[in-house]
Amino acid sequence: MSFYNVFLLSLAEIFGDFQLENYANTNSLVSFSNGILGYAGVVYILIKSLRQRNVLFVNASWDGMSAVLETLAAIIFLGETLKSTYEYIGLVLIISGLFFLYK
């Protein structure tokens, strides 16, 4: 499984999450539809990934990549921040874990 597949999997999840959050706050059917579409993409890419690697590797890679990318997206697009130094240290440890998974 390539790093690229996990990156796409994470992007699809982020898109779905942001759209469904918008739906939860606005009841916009367009956001609901887009959120479902994002998660359909997640299922498709997840199946492709599981054909190449086992659940353990795919899950660890996806969780780590998603945590990093969704945190960055929330900071950039939603203006959210982490609250403490320990949270930033946790993010650095996640990035380190991804490095070791793909080494």
- CA–CA dist 74, 39 (Å, integer): 18
Question: pLDDT digits over 15-34, tens only?
Answer: 999 999 999 999 999 999 99
Per the structure, how many domains does the chain have? 1
Q: What confidence score (pLDDT) does residue 3 get?
A: 84
Q: What confidence score (pLDDT) does residue 10 get?
A: 93
- Let me know: does 17 contact 31? Beta carbons within 8 Å: no
Per-residue b or e along 40-67, where b marks 16 or more CB atoms closer than 10 Å to that residue's CB: ebbeebbeebeeebeeebbebbbebbbb
User: For residue 2, is pLDDT > 90?
Assistant: no
- Nearest in space to 58 (alpha carbons), one of 39, 74, 43, 69: 43
Question: pLDDT digits over 32-91, tens only?
Answer: 999 999 999 999 999 999 999 999 999 999 999 999 998 898 889 889 899 999 999 999
- Let me know: does 64 contact 98? Beta carbons within 8 Å: yes
Q: What confidence score (pLDDT) does residue 1 get?
A: 56
The whole domain housing 74 covers 3-101
